[in-house]
Every structure is written in C-alpha cells, then in structure tokens.
Amino acid sequence: MLSKGARWDRVLFIAAGILCLIGLVALRSASATLNPLLFGQQIRWIAIGMLASLMTASFLYTRWIDAGPFLYVSVLLLLVIVEVARTVKLGAARWLTVWGLSVQPSELAKLATACCLARYLATQPVPLPTRSLLVSAGVVGVPALLIFLQPDFGTSSVLGVMWLGTVWVAGLSRRHLVFMAVAGLGVLPVGWHLLKEYQRLRLVVFLNPHADPLGAGYTIIQSKIAIGSGQLFGRGWMAGTQNQLNFLPERHADFLFSVIGEEWGFLGAVTVVILFGCVLGRAIHIALGTVEPQGRFLAMAVVSWLAYQAVINVGMVMGLLPVVGVPLPLISYGGSAMVATWIALGLLQGIHRFGTRF
C-alpha cells in the first residue's frame, strides 16, 4: 500500500537549493577569467533540474521504477552510441551533442540503473541468494563497463558503490560479504593493468604529488595551496590568487570546492559539508523510514550515489583521496550532472510523499 501523498520534505530541498547558490557564487568567481558564460549556463541547468525534480516528485515513484527497464535499455543504447561516435573532450569520449547541447549519458545511467536495481531486488528473498547477487551485479556491471571504457573510472565506480549500498540493505549475507572482499583484493592487480596510463599516474601522485609536480601532481598541489591559503575566513570573493591567476585547473568543475576553501576559508568549506550532511541525513531518514521495498532500495541507491561523490570529491581536492574525476553534487559546473542530481532528489521526495512509513 502506498499513501496518497504527504507533505514535502522542505529541509531536503532547501539544503540542496542553498548548496546550488553557494556553487553559483563560487562559479561566478571561478569562471571570471575562464569563461563568464558558464555562470549563466549553470543557472539554466539548475532551473531545469529543479523543474524536473518537482515533476518527478509529483508522481508515484513506482511509475519511474516501472519504467526502469525501458530507461535502462535506452541509456545502454546511448552509451554504445557514445563509444561509437567518440566525441572526445578532455581525453575521454563521454558526451553526445543533441541540438547544440552536450549530454552525458553516464549521468542518466545512474538514474536508470538505480530504478532497475530497486525493481529487481524488491522481488528477491532475504538474505539474497547467490543468483540474485550475480544478476544484480550484472545489471550494474553492463553500464559500468561501458562507462569505464570511455574512459571514466569515476562514474563507473559510482555505479559500483550504488550496487554495494543497495544489496547491503536488501540483505547481503556475511558469507557473500567476505567472498566479495576477498575477490576484490584478488582482482586489484588485474584492475591496475586495466587502468589507463594517466589513471595509474593519478594513483602514484596521490602518494607523492611532487613526483610529477608539473604534470599529474600539478592540480592537486595547486588545490591544496588554494584551500590552505584560505585559512579561517578566506581571502574574499574573487580574491583568491590560485583561482583568479589561473593556477588551479578545472576550478569550475571537479575542483570548485577548492575555490570555496580559498575564498571563503574553513568556515565556508565547513558550511558546505554541513549542508551536505543535511541533504544526506534527510535522504537516509527517507530510506530507513520506508517499508515498501522498491522505495527503500531506490532511496539507498541515491544515498550511496550522493554520499560517495561528495566524500570522494572533497577528499580528492584536499589531497586525502586519489583524483578520480567525479563532480561535487549540486556545486560543480555541469548540466547533465546537475539535472540528474535534482531528479534523484525528486525521487527521494516522491518516496517521502508516497511511500508507506513507520
């Protein structure tokens, strides 16, 4: 049974909206000497994302889950087209150009895979048998492999974490957990050889960025300088030297948190972390408070997705984690990522409104 509809979770949307505003303020500074048009484009993507989120939340979330297989097949087709078309940007083929707009199908793959995964796991017994675990891994593995071949290790790892979070909630036995841990350690050497040269170099410079200070280690060195120079209160808006003097690469996208740290200091960075805590806290509350299996599994897939990207992005720009190339949700510049994130929040809102709760 699904409820007819409850009040909206205002905290979820308000915290997400404030994060977008902070991202816009930082992007205005980051794009000043890069491309001022990025600011206006980001406003447009946020507006589209919010509208899509409201539309998504206005319908029963089960309708989106029922459409999961169709969305999944459509996304796989788009990923194959990306691989065939090979429109390369920044050394990777990840985008399709539609009516003059660049679309990143890998972002849509997160949504489609989450819906398909929730639909399948809701029909399986608890604890999950081996067959169910393997089938669910296959559901995630196919798009993850296509994305990895682009190459885009960051997004493919997001899908993997979504799967882990969802099967854990669905009823992962200790036996399977131990086997997965052992198997994961066993495939590490193989995985190392499957990585591209620049991906292996990123892992090496994570341990010692000064091993290649003008190459692979340059961005993380500049990022750490930017964050450290912000100290407690920051240098002030549009006054960060690493940002305004173009020392920090990708400062509008994956490293926009570095701009926040430089210009708004420790207090600004902590504010962003607290706001993410509010978003993720409400998302976890929705997931744990939903007894309907499809809604609970879908919510956990979204929680795993957003939490992983936030932790990885903040960790990598501070030099605490390797650079894997994932944007900071609701903050970093990017149309497909912004719209997909807001749709995911709309799914959470729909689960909150229509799902049966304790």
State mean pLDDT over 255-274: 95
Domain ranges in the chain? Answer: 10-354
Classify residue 131 by its DSSP letter: H
Q: Whole-angstrom Cα distance, residue 341 to residue 17? A: 12
pLDDT at res. 4: 56
pLDDT at res. 178: 82
Q: Whole-angstrom Cα distance, residue 130 to residue 186? A: 19
State mean pLDDT over 343-356: 90
Tokens of 108: 């849509």
pTM above 0.75, yes or no: yes
Task: Evaluate whether 3 touches 295 at the Cβ level (below 8 Å).
Answer: no
State mean pLDDT over 262-276: 95
pLDDT at res. 92: 54
**What confidence category does residue 218 fall into, taking pLDDT thresholds of 50, 70 and 90?**
confident
User: Pairing mode, if any, of strands 92-93 and 88-89?
Assistant: antiparallel
Kindly tell me if the per-residue pLDDT of 48 is higher than 90: yes
**What confidence category does residue 46 fall into, taking pLDDT thresholds of 50, 70 and 90?**
very high
pLDDT at res. 132: 92
Kindly tell me if the per-residue pLDDT of 358 is higher than 50: no
Cα separations (Å) of 152 from 7, 16, 76?
A: 39, 26, 15
Tokens 């990895």, residue located: 148
Number of Cβ within a 10 Å radius of residue 265: 19
What does the mean pLDDT of the chain come to? 87
State mean pLDDT over 228-243: 89
Cα of first residue to Cα of last residue in the chain, in angstroms, is 13
Name, in order, each residue with C-beta under 8 angstroms of 200's C-beta and a sequence gap of 6 or more: 192
Tokens 């959470």, residue located: 348
Q: Does residue 143 have a cis peptide bond before it, meaning omega lies within 30 degrees of 0?
A: no
Q: Which residue has better confidence, 187 or 230?
A: 230
Task: Evaluate whether 92 touches 82 at the Cβ level (below 8 Å).
Answer: no
Q: Whole-angstrom Cα distance, residue 92 to residue 347? A: 30
Which residue, among 139, 188, 175, 187, has the nearest Cα to 160 in the 3D structure?
A: 139
Name the CA dihedral angle for 339, 342, 347, 351, rounded to a multiple of 10 degrees. -170
State mean pLDDT over 157-167: 94
pLDDT at res. 99: 65
